[in-house]
Structures are given as structure tokens and as C-alpha cells.
Amino acid sequence: MSQPERVVYTIGHSTHPIEVFIAMLRSFDIRLLVDIRGLPGSNKYPQYNQEALQASLPASGIAYLHLPDLGGRRRVHRDSHNTRWRNASFRAYADY
């Protein structure tokens, strides 16, 4: 018996109202949103704060799970060979 195909989608919230965001998720039959942000909040768009998503998504039939270890900013390695990058974030990404 073969395993069902598993698909992982990615999405960013942009500036959409929560209703538009949920409609986009539902249009692809998304049943679980995994939030990988290290700091799951937004001052400018509070509808994307962790607490708001925990309330609005299940009401729409979408589960919410916060797994910050899957995302976040990368750190520069101590023994980095990418020292020509002046921007630490770029250097950390190159180290990755």
C-alpha cells in the first residue's frame, strides 16, 4: 500500500486582513499552520500575533502549531570562512 503524498506549502502574511489570509489557506485545503517565527508577533499587523492566530485559525478549521526551532535567524559560525560579507545576517546565511 503506497503512502499518500505529503505536501508542504509556505506562506507569508504580508499585509492581508486575517480573512484573506484564512481564505488563501483554505483554498489549498490547509489544515495545519506551522509558525516558525522566533518571535511570533507583529506590532503593525496584530492579527498575526501568536495569540490572535491561536484564536482565529481553529475557528476556521485550521490548527496552529508554533515550532520556532524550524526557522529564525541564522548565527554566524565562529570559524566562518565567509568573512568578506559586511552584513552579519548575510554572512550567517552564507555559513548555513
Q: pLDDT at position 53, please?
A: 97
Mean pLDDT by 10 residues, the chain (96 residues): 85 91 96 92 94 97 94 73 76 70
Quick one: three-class SS letters along the chain? CCCCCCCCCCCCCCCCCHHHHHHHHHHCCCCEEEECCCCCCCCCCHHHCHHHHHHHCHHHCCEEEECHHHCCCCCCCCCCCCCCCCCHHHHHHHHC
Q: pLDDT tens digit string along 52-61?
A: 999 999 999 9
